Amino acid sequence: MKKIVFIALLMLLVLSASWFAGQWLQKENAPSKIVATYSSSCDLLQSACEFKQFDNHYTIKLIGKPSPLSPFVVQLDAAPSSMDAAEISFKMRNMDMGYAVYSLRRYQLSDTWQASVILPVCLAGRADWVLSVKLQLANQQSVVKFDVFVE
């Protein structure tokens, strides 16, 4: 009987410690404040798109033809590059397509950031994606959204 109580108390202690550690880590990695959200009408399938955030100019383009289960590259050029990080995500409106978030990696000694992307297949046959570009600068974030219709 004492062993069962001891094991139960030990498990309770471990679970409590795990919860508190998770809370502490979550505060350490608290998200930055999103200071701007902007939707662009530019068609990324036709050409590169330019936008301005944090007083910097950016150009984003797709390298390769986006289609489900086929890799393509999303490239972001930032001049001058003062970003700390950049990530992109693909979502469909009113449909859960899973987790499609990619961190862009910066090429050394350049202002170019890239990520290789593979989109999932939509079983409903939809192809209307929203590409969100999240830029991180210090403790601020900016999000720019583009509609992308793949074939």
- Per-residue pLDDT of 34-87, as tens digits, reads 666 778 889 999 999 998 887 888 999 999 989 889 999 999 998 766 778 999
**How high is the pLDDT of residue 15?**
67
Tens-place pLDDT, residues 127-143: 899 999 999 887 888 89
State the DSSP code for 84: S
With a cut of 70, say whether residue 25 has pLDDT above it: no
Give the burial string for 56-79 (b: 16+ CB within 10 Å, else e).
Answer: bebbbebeeebeeeeebebbbbbe
Quickly list H helices, 1-151: 2-28
- Report residue 111 as tokens: 């202002």
The span from the CA of 60 to the CA of 34, in Å, is 20
Edge-to-edge strand list for the sheet holding 101-103: 33-40, 140-149, 128-137, 85-92, 101-103
